[in-house]
Amino acid sequence: MLNWLLRPFSWLYGGITDVRNRLYDKGVKQVYIPPVRTISVGNLTVGGTGKTPHVDYLLRRLKRSYPVATLSRGYGRQTKGFRVATPSDTADTIGDEPLLLYRKHGPGVVVAVGEKRAEAIPQLLALANPPSAKIHTIILDDAFQHRPVQPHLNILLTDYNRLFYKDHPFPAGRLRERRNGAKRADALIVTKCPDNLSTSEMVRISESLKPFVRGNIPVFFTGLRYGKPVSFAGISIDALPNELVLVSGIARPEPLEHYVQQHFNRVRHLRFADHHRYVAKDLETIQAALPPDGVVLTTEKDFVKLQPLLAKIGGDVSRFYYLPIDVAFLTGEPEFLALLDKEMC
C-alpha cells in the first residue's frame, strides 16, 4: 500500500532526472570527454550491485597491459576535493572503497577521489610522478549518473536479486533515475547471480532487458566468489573455529550471510549501515557478542576500517578475519575481455 502512495513522488523524481538527462543529451549542459580511455562502472539502483568487486576485477586485468587509475567521489570520507591515495590515507581521508582498492592495487594503480570528476580527471592526468604521468585508462567508480563526464565505455550493473526493470524510481523504489536511463549503457552485467543459473534463465533476463537498453548491447552474467578467510594479521587459513560473529557494513549483506550460513557455524550477524564509520563503542559491541572461543568474520571493506581501529586501541587481531571476494563470469568472459581490448585500442 505504501508503495502505491509513494508512486506520485516517484513520477515527480523520475521527471526531474529526465529533464537533467535531456539537458546533457542535447548539449545544453557541458560534457567533458577525457583525453584518455575512460570506463564508467555504475548502476541505476541505490547501492548493493557489486560495483567495487567489478572495479577490482577491471583493475586486476587492465593493469597487466596498461597504466591504470581509478577515480571515485570517495563516499563517506571526511575530506573534500581531489586527492590521490597514499600509504598514510585512511577511510576517513579517501573513503572505505577507494582505501580497499589502494590496499589491493597500490602503488601499481593510481587511486584517486574527487567529487567533481570533470575537474578531477585533468588534475589526475597532470600529476608529475609515474605511473600517473602515463595513465592510459581511468576507471570511474559509481559514475553512471555523473553526466558531466562522457566515458568511452559505460558499463551498467544490475543485481540479479533486484533487476532494475522490476524496480521504480525513489522513493517508491530504489532507482536513481527512470529505467530508460539504461540506454546510455554500452554493456550490461547482471551481478550476484547464483552459480547454477540456467542458460534459459539468462536468455529470459536478456530478453526482458531489451526494451530498456540501446540496440543489441552485450549482456553478461557474473557471480561472487569468496576466498579463504584471512586473519587481520594477513594469514590465510582453510577453516575457522566453530563459532563466529559475522560483522558487515555493506548495502546488501544477504548474499554474504547466505554464504556464511552454508560454510560456517554462524552465531550472530551484526549488521551496520553501508559505509559505516566504526568507532570504539562498535568494537565493544562486537567483542561482547563473541563466544569465548569464537572469532569475528567480516568483509574486505569493513576490514580496512576495523583493522586500524583495533590497532589504535590495542585490540586482539588474532580473533578477527575477513573474507576476500572476487567476481566470476558465468559465461562470456572472453567476449567481455575482447570488448575491453577493443575499447582500449
For residue 32, what pLDDT is reported? Answer: 95
Q: Which residues pair with 190 in a beta bridge?
A: 158, 221
In this structure, the answer to whether residues 144 and 257 fall within a common structural domain is: no
Termini Cα distance of the chain: 52
Domain span including residue 194: 27-224+334-344
In this structure, the answer to whether residues 169 and 245 fall within a common structural domain is: no
For residue 131, what pLDDT is reported? Answer: 47
In this structure, the answer to whether residues 205 and 244 fall within a common structural domain is: no
Does residue 253 lie within any of the structural domains?
A: yes
SS3 of 170-226: the string is CCCCCECCCHHHHHHCCEEEEECCCCCCCHHHHHHHHHHHHHHCCCCCCEEEEEEEE
Q: What is the pLDDT of residues 49-73, one digit of tens each?
A: 899 999 999 999 999 888 999 999 9
In this structure, the answer to whether residues 198 and 57 fall within a common structural domain is: yes
In this structure, the answer to whether residues 186 and 42 fall within a common structural domain is: yes
Does residue 283 lie within any of the structural domains?
A: yes
**What nine digits make up the cell of 338?**
575482447
In this structure, the answer to whether residues 140 and 48 fall within a common structural domain is: yes
In this structure, the answer to whether residues 236 and 314 fall within a common structural domain is: yes
Structural domains in the chain (count): 2
Does residue 13 lie within any of the structural domains?
A: no
User: Where residue 319 sits, what CATH number does that domain have?
Assistant: 3.40.50
User: Where residue 186 sits, what CATH number does that domain have?
Assistant: 3.40.50.300
In this structure, the answer to whether residues 250 and 176 fall within a common structural domain is: no
In this structure, the answer to whether residues 44 and 102 fall within a common structural domain is: yes
112: pLDDT strictly greater than 90: yes
317: pLDDT strictly greater than 90: no
Does residue 203 lie within any of the structural domains?
A: yes
In this structure, the answer to whether residues 190 and 151 fall within a common structural domain is: yes
Does residue 5 lie within any of the structural domains?
A: no
Q: What is the pLDDT of residues 164-206, one digit of tens each?
A: 999 988 888 889 999 999 999 999 999 999 999 999 999 999 9
